[in-house]
Amino acid sequence: DTEVTQTPKHLVMGMTNKKSLKCEQHMGHRAMYWYKQKAKKPPELMFVYSYEKLSINESVPSRFSPECPNSSLLNLHLHALQPEDSALYLCASRTDRGLDEQFFGPGTRLTVL
């Protein structure tokens, strides 16, 4: 299984809602990533987890809260988002055994009203 899955595919939420994005991989990868991608822009790194510990936070606002409950699962909890947070949220994973690429999921299209 060389796939990263993300749910939901689409999400619409109000600014007062609390929601979560989910990412899962079963490739045994120990590094997992959250990216945010605005239209016509490259992905921007948000968070990196290594061995289930947060290793990189790219100065992301606290209304985004990542969680890595186990080595296969990565969540992104959303609360009090702004309309400018509307974007495609991509998850990726990567092996820790030497050089390799990041495997990306299909993304969650988030719209904040």
Partner 1 sequence: AQSVTQPDIHITVSEGASLELRCNYSYGATPYLFWYVQSPGQGLQLLLKYFSGDTLVQGIKGFEAEFKRSQSSFNLRKPSVHWSDAAEYFCAVDISNFGNEKLTFGTGTRLTIIP
Site residues, partner 1 (CB under 8 A): 4, 6, 31, 40-43, 45, 48, 50, 55-56, 88, 90, 92, 94, 99, 101-107, 109
Task: Output 43 or 85, the one with its CB closest to partner 1.
Answer: 43
Q: Could you tell me which of 63, 76, 102, 61 has the C-alpha nearest to residue 11?
A: 76
State the DSSP H helix or E strand holding residue 34, giving kind and residue range, or none if neither: strand 31-37
Q: What is the DSSP letter of 14?
A: -
| Distance in Å, CB of 80 to partner 1, minimum | 26
Q: Residue 49 has which token pair?
A: 């987890």
Q: Rounded to the nearest whole angstrom, what is the least distance from the CB of residue 105 to partner 1 in the complex?
A: 5
In the complex, what is the shortest distance from the CB of residue 39 to partner 1, in angstroms, rounded to a whole number? Answer: 10
- Cβ-based neighbours of 69, under 8 Å, separated by 6 or more: 52, 75
When the beta carbons of 64 and 103 are compared against partner 1, the nearer one is 103
Nearest to 30 by CA among 88, 102, 90: 102
Residue from 9, 11, 27 nearest 19 by CA: 11
Shortest spacing between CB 75 and partner 1, in angstroms: 18
Kindly tell me which of 64 and 89 has the beta carbon lying closer to partner 1.
89
| Comparison of 14 and 100: residue with beta carbon closer to partner 1 | 100
